[in-house]
Amino acid sequence: MSLFALTFNFGWEIVIEIYVADALPEQIVYGTWMALDLGLVYTMLKHGEGEWKHAPAVGRNLGKIFTVCLLWCCWMVWAFCDWWLDESNPVNSKPGKVYKGIEGQSDTTEMAYWSALVIQVVLSVMLLAQLIVRGHSGGASYSIWAARFNGSLWGLNAYTGYCYYAWPEAHECFVSPVSICLMVSWVMADLAYVIVLRQVKRAEVEVPGGGKASRAHQKASNRLGMASSDDDEDLQRALAMSMEGSQEQPVSLDSDDEDDDLRQAIALSLKETHVANDEDRMSNKKPPIPHVECAFPSPPATQNAAQSQPAASSTTTSGIFGLDRKAMEAERLARIARLGKRKRSTSPERPSKSATKPNSQPAALETESSRAAPSPLQYPRGAIKRTWAVKHPRQNDIKIEEVLQASTLKLAVLSAYDLDAHWLFTKFDPKVVKQVWIGSHKDKATQDQWRAEAASCGIKMHFPPMDGQIQISHGKLMLLIHDTHMRIVVSTANTQREDWGETDPDPRSGAMYQAACLENSVFLIDLPRRPNGELGKREDLTFFGQGLLQYLEALKLSDYGILKFDFSNTKHIAFVHSIAGVHTGKSREVTGLPGLSTALRALNLDEANQLELDYASASLGALKEGFLKHVYTAACSNPDLPYDKVPSDFLDRLRIYFPTHETVINSSGSKDCGGTITLNRAYYNAATFPKKILRQYNSIREGVLSHNKLLFARGHRTKEQTPFAWAYVGSANLSESAWGLQKTPKKGEKLEKVTLRNYECGVLIGVPTESIDKLELGTGAIPPMDVFQGALTLPFEYPGKTFEGKQPWLCE
């Protein structure tokens, strides 16, 4: 039942029972109705939040909203009854009518009739509207409708009709035009309800947990990772033939050739399918009709939610991607036959090769004011942006469409912990853009299934080495290759809707009505393609280029396609990574926390004597003082400040930004958007957890939660006493899994090993000296947080509030 209709009806029963009814039979009847409605109220308050997921602010405050509505409805009904029953001036008093022992005083039958009839019309119309809008029959049934309809029909229409028949002089109002209009209206609405209910039941589907949803809404809400139990085993075997040895062979990043073995395997699978269909026809069994359209959406320019195709038949096979694979394979083979090698059917218009000549002393990072007119290289020296957030003003932010530049995109290499296929397919067409996806699954069976599903969509699915203690591939990296340039994107965001500031669209209009619930940060830089297909030398790469290549090789993406692009504009930044595994010797110095220290030396940001660190982390590990001391020494990158000489009060110079429980609950997405923000309750309650360094993460965009992984460092160098500042933007949360486990060294002992469980990547950016000089700081002074303004927008309120007894957002 709709919220307002329920409160209106319940409020009427309360007032009539307590204020109006004076005879025992009336009190029993109204009291019974109230008791029945109490069950509805309890059910609505218990399960209502789940029905209001599209508007979490309503869901989490449902009890308060119901209470306010009920009080108002009671007030309104009471005011009406008090006006009608005024003993000094009664409304429409009639001879023979008795109320409270007084004859001819007030006609309570007519008063109750008019008030109940208006409420009945509101109730019936709103129930019909609710069923149409929701598109599913959750909480509704034919028996519930029949009980409600018959009760109202006999208790209102039939009863008043009998009263008129038995005593027409006192009940002429029942046959007035207004009365007839209202009685017919609610009856027609209720009859329409049962017709709509029948249609809705035909089109709805069951969702996990036993609930129901409209087929269109469920199709729009599907996410990657839902595996079907009816996978085509013959097809999987055929696809597996094409992928034998795929883990051992590095993936090429710059090849335009189709996989001939894969095409043959798919063709073999389809041939076997046709044979099976022939056998079915010979045995008079009608085979299922495949859905011949490609199941993933068309490019966004030609599709909207209202034009989406109906879901395939339940007999059609589907898998992790939720796609009709056989039909897509048939379409794909036909496309190969038409186009031969992977080519575009029409070449996109190439952007102009003219670019604004950079200044002789460009800023370290691109800003809105420093960027000139549009050109193929929008960010030749890099930029840090916030992700766009729906329903929030735009300021130094970027949409996923603006990142991808899909109209000229040729090859996309996407790495993230969470990949949402359905959402990605609305951003670029996998039939046009060659794609390599880097996944994070550890077990071979799941990897093989992902490879098979991805291959059926023309996507190469790749998994880095995941043996031993390796947990996940968590790096958020995009290599977006165009004819004119390669865009390198390093972010804190997964490739899914919520991480890029979007929310679930309305199934009918496609509009996003819910405000953004998550925010992230993005570093991106455009590198021009070398002329005439020239291939650069590995030894000539900048420190940034060397780090990127090391990371790609560790992922087994070792083709040197990136050497076709010019890295000369990356001297002022560093690519920082964590390569999962155990590292000793030289390999230890380039990854994890030791790699961070090496990068700082390369950018001349080392030898810090005193350092202030501010870390915004979406997840926190089992933090202990020993690990945080390793973080501090790595960030100082000072050989004169080894582990055993770190000041005992170093935690006073470290702040960790994390949301409180209250912040998550009161956010735009409430607790549903807190799933990727994690701090284990056992970790937090441990005596060794440094609670005093926690600060509240409150976004400057109200109601938005953070998925950022940002490290801001400010200090001064030991020898020159010159101030400096730098920032890290990447995938690494504050944990040993991300940055590396190192033992506590003895005095004077040199660390020789680091153990990393995750693949991570990020970018290190120093604040230009000229920006710091403008602050006119004194000798030995540490720059304020304002030093980062201009290079990026600080996404959270600073200085952060202490927790002051509040609990962080915890998980079990």
Phi, psi of 773 (to 5 degrees): -60, -30
Q: For the residues of 534-566, what is the DSSP string, one character each? A: ----GGG--HHHHHHHHHHHHTT---GGGGGB-
Q: How confident is the model at residue 329 (pLDDT cuts 50, 70, 90)?
A: very low
Binding residues: 476, 709
Q: Check if 274 is active-site.
A: no
Of 112, 197, 226, 125, which Cα lies nearest the Cα of 160? 112
Indicate which residue of 217, 422, 485, 707 is catalytic: 707
Q: Is there a contact between 542 and 381 (Cβ–Cβ < 8 Å)? A: no
State the pLDDT at residue 777.
85
Q: Check if 136 is active-site.
A: no
Domain boundaries, the chain: 3-220, 233-242+251-339, 383-528
Q: Distance (Å, rounded) from C-alpha 214 to C-alpha 133?
A: 10
Q: Which CATH architecture does the domain made up of 383-528 adopt?
A: 2-Layer Sandwich (3.30)
Where residue 135 falls (left for φ over 0; alpha for ψ -120 to 50; beta otherwise) is: left
Binding residues for substrate: 476, 709
> What digits encode the pLDDT tens for the residues 707-737?
999 999 999 887 777 899 999 999 999 999 9
Judge whether residue 760 has pLDDT over 50: yes
State the pLDDT at residue 291.
30
Q: Pick the residue with more confidence: 480 or 276?
A: 480
Q: How confident is the model at residue 249 (pLDDT cuts 50, 70, 90)?
A: low
Q: Pick the residue with more confidence: 717 or 180?
A: 180
> What digits encode the pLDDT tens for the residues 391-421?
999 999 999 999 999 999 999 999 999 989 8
State the pLDDT at residue 431.
85
Indicate which residue of 291, 474, 485, 583 is catalytic: 474
State the pLDDT at residue 463.
95
Judge whether residue 683 has pLDDT over 90: yes
State the pLDDT at residue 224.
36
State the pLDDT at residue 212.
60
Rounded (10°) CA dihedral 366, 605, 494, 438: 110
Q: How confident is the model at residue 512 (pLDDT cuts 50, 70, 90)?
A: confident
Beta strands in 309-447 (DSSP E): 383-387, 397-398, 409-415, 434-438
Beta-bridge partner residues of 491:
522
